[in-house]
Chain A
Amino acid sequence: MNDLKNILIVGVGGQGTLLASKVLAKVAVMAGYDVKVSEVHGMAQRGGSVVTQVRYGSRVFSPLIPKGEADVIVAFEQLEALRWMPYLRPGGRVIVNDQIIEPMPVILGAASYPDSIPERIRESCPGTLVVSAQGIARNCGSERSANIVLLGILAGTLELPETGWDTALAQSVPPATLEVNRAAFRAGREVAAQRN
């Protein structure tokens, strides 16, 4: 069971975490792995905290990643990165989009948005990559492809076959947005490559 990979994709309902996990899972299936994906539907999709768990390896049992076992956390929003940190395994990697979406208790002044989240995460995970996915996506043609930018960065940290990504992307996004999403994915790969 040593080849088991656990990827946690976290964000705010409506940010496109489900689509990113869908592409990742397809690539893992094409690579011949056993795969399980656990999703969030229903009420939390209305702007709540959402998480998608993707697990692949020669045999996967639980659809949920145990706490302290995630190899990679991809956070679409800073506070969500912080929230899910207890799931990261020692030596695991974190990719954080620098976007801040204030939750309602913060907007109302009933709670405050934690300061310096990237620095705090780096204390326990020094290699944490913080990116401006919306900005990168905008340069590729649409801010809405920020999820695919983050997927591109994630792809750069995983050892999945190169060819699978484009096929999976083409099967998962609307044809009209494919070129923009391809560019967003490549831009993400470049960010990861510069980093490695």
Chain B
Amino acid sequence: MVGIVIVSHSGKIAGGIKDLIEQLTQGRVRVEVAAGAVDGSLGTDATAITAAIQRADTGEGVAVLMDLGSAVLSAETALDLLPLEARKRALLCDAPLVEGAVAAGVEASLGSDLAAVRQAAEMSRSLTKLGG
């Protein structure tokens, strides 16, 4: 099963999203978190992201979801720090964090491959919430 990594400036945000995905998938999907700066303040740490990707990878790859700005830079740096084999199986998703992560998590729980998981995450870009 594809693993999910949640990257956020905030540990609380990332932890909450992990809880949501675990609830929706009955804990079947591996979700790892990389959030906060090294001293616990708001920020991101590329080395923590690299470690989270390695933990989340059970062989079928990892979809990475990020919040804003420097989280993306850190996630891109994190990919550079991975060994080559692992690097090929990690994909950053261009999606809003909460909705993208939830969609990715549910898709992963169906046993879908990494490309399908990313696609599910990125579909959240066009999601409208407020109906008629």
Is chain B found bound to chain A in the same assembly? Answer: no
